[in-house]
C-alpha cells in the first residue's frame, strides 16, 4: 500500500536563521515526486522534518491523514517511512548483511532484553529477517557481497546497501536524498529501473531529492522547486526546467529570455 504525504505551512528555524518558510506540498499514493533546488535550498532539512530528525516549529505533516509532525524517527518508521541519507551512514566495520539487517529491527518483535537473551521468538524473527535480507540483496544484484565488510566496497555500492537497509523497513513512503550523487552512468540507469520497480511492483510512494535533472525528468510525476527555504513552484519536471523563476534561482540572474 502506498502512502499519501501532505505538508502544510512548515517552518523550520535554527537560532536567527529560517531554513524553511511556510513550505507545503502533497504527494499522492504511488507518485514519484521530485524535490529540487540549488545547494542550501533546504531539501535535506525538509526530509529531516518528515523523517523526525528535525522538529519544525510550526505547520503540519500528515501521512495518510495522520498528523506526524515532531514524532521521533523510530515512530516514523512505524508509520511506514524509510529514507536514505545524502551521505550514506553505514557501519563500515560490519558486513553488508548486518548493515541491511539494521533496517529490520524497527519492526521486529521483542524487547531489547529478549533480543540480548536471544529468546526463541527473537531468534526466529532474526532468522526470517536474515533470509529476507539475503533475498533482497540477491534481487538488487548484491548477493555476492553479503559477507563482505562494507568498508571494502565502492561509494556506489554503499548507496545500494543503504537503499536495501531502508527497504527492510517495508516502507509505504520512501525518501531518497541524492541517490544518484557520485554514481557512474550505468549505476544511475540501474537506480532509475529500481525506483520505477519499487513504485510499480512494490506500490511505494517515493520522494526523491536530486540534482541530476535527467533522472528527475525520467522518473518523477511532479516536482517541487525550493529556493532559500521557500517553495518556488510545483509542476512537471519539464515545466520546472522552463520556468523563469527556477532558471533565475539556479543561475542567480534574471532570465534574459
Binding site for Mg ion (CB under 5 A): 43-44, 86
Closest Cα partner for 168 from 93, 108, 122, 91?
108
How far apart are alpha carbons 61 and 232 in whole angstroms?
Answer: 19
Give the position of cell 495522520.
66
Binding residue for ligand ATP, selected from 44, 71, 99, 160, defined by CB under 6 A: 44
Residue 120 binding result from Mg ion, ligand ATP, none, given CB thresholds of 5 to 8 Å by partner type: none
Binding flag, residue 241, ligand ATP (CB under 6 A): no
Q: Which does 39 bind (CB under 5 to 8 A by kind): ligand ATP, Mg ion, none?
A: ligand ATP
- The cell for 103 is 533496517
The one-character DSSP state at 25 is E
Instruction: Identify which of residues 19 and 101 has a Cβ nearer to Mg ion in the complex.
Output: 19
- 249 φ/ψ angles, rounded to the nearest 5 degrees: -65, -40
Q: Which stretch binds ligand ATP (CB under 6 A): 39-47, 154-162, 192-200, 244-252?
A: 39-47
Q: Please report how close the Cβ of residue 116 comes to Mg ion at its closest, in angstroms.
A: 37
The per-type count for the chain, helices as H runs and strands as E runs, is 10, 10
Nearest-angstrom CA–CA distance, 192 and 212: 11
When asked if residue 42 is in the footprint of ligand ATP (CB under 6 A), the reply is: yes
* Residue 20 · residue 45 · CB < 8 Å: yes
**Cα gap 55→49, rounded to integer Å:** 6
Stated as kind and residue range, the H or E segment containing 197 is: helix 185-200
Q: How far is the CB of 10 from ligand ATP (least distance, A)?
A: 13
249 binds ligand ATP (CB under 6 A): no
39 makes contact with ligand ATP (CB under 6 A): yes
Count, residues near ligand ATP per rule CB under 6 A: 12
The binder of ligand ATP chosen from 41, 97, 129, 174 (CB under 6 A): 41
Q: What is d(CA 45, CA 216) in angstroms, rounded to the nearest whole number?
A: 19
**Smallest gap from residue 29 Cβ to ligand ATP (A):** 25
Choice between 2 and 85, CB closer to Mg ion: 85
Q: How far is CA 238 from the centre of its chain?
A: 23
Of 43, 83, 159, 222, which one interacts with ligand ATP (CB under 6 A)? 43
Using Cβ positions, the residue closest to Mg ion within the complex turns out to be 44
Q: Which residues contact 13 (CB under 8 A, 6 or more apart)?
A: 19, 57
CB of 86 or CB of 190, closer to ligand ATP: 86
Site for ligand ATP in 16-35 (CB under 6 A): 17, 19
| Ranges within 86-105 binding ligand ATP (CB under 6 A) | 86
Amino acid at each position: 500500500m502506498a502512502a499519501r504525504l501532505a505538508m502544510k505551512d512548515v517552518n523550520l528555524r535554527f537560532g536567527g536563521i529560517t531554513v524553511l518558510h511556510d513550505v507545503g506540498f502533497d504527494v499522492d499514493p504511488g507518485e514519484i515526486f521530485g524535490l529540487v533546488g540549488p545547494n542550501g535550498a533546504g531539501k535535506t532539512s525538509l526530509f529531516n522534518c518528515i523523517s523526525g530528525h528535525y522538529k519544525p516549529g510550526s505547520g503540519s505533516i500528515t501521512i495518510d491523514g495522520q498528523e506526524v509532525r515532531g514524532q521521533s524517527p523510530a515512530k516514523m518508521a512505524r508509520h511506514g517511512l524509510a529514507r536514505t541519507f545524502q551521505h550514506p551512514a553505514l557501519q563500515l566495520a560490519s558486513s553488508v548483511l548486518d548493515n541491511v539487517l539494521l533496517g529490520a529491527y524497527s519492526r521486529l518483535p521483542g524487547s531489547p532484553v529478549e533480543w540480548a537473551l536471544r529468546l526463541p521468538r527473537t531468534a526466529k524473527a532474526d532468522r526470517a529477517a536474515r533470509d529476507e535480507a539475503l533475498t533482497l540483496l540477491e534481487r538488487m544484484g548484491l548477493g555476492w557481497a553479503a559477507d563482505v565488510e562494507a568498508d571494502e566496497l565502492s561509494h556506489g555500492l554503499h548507496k545500494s546497501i543503504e537503499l536495501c537497509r531502508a527497504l527492510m523497513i517495508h516502507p509505504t513512503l520512501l525518501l531518497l536524498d541524492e541517490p544518484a550523487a557520485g554514481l557512474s552512468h550505468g549505476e544511475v540507469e540501474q537506480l532509475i529501473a529500481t525506483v520505477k520497480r519499487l513504485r510499480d511492483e512494490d506500490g511505494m510512494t517515493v520522494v526523491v531529492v536530486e540534482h541530476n535533472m535527467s533522472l528527475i525528468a525520467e522518473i518523477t510525476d511532479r516536482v517541487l522547486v525550493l529556493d532559500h527555504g521557500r517553495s518556488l513552484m510545483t509542476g512537471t519536471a519539464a515545466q520546472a526546467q522552463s520556468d523563469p523563476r527556477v532558471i533565475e534561482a539556479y543561475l542567480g540572474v534574471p532570465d534574459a529570455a
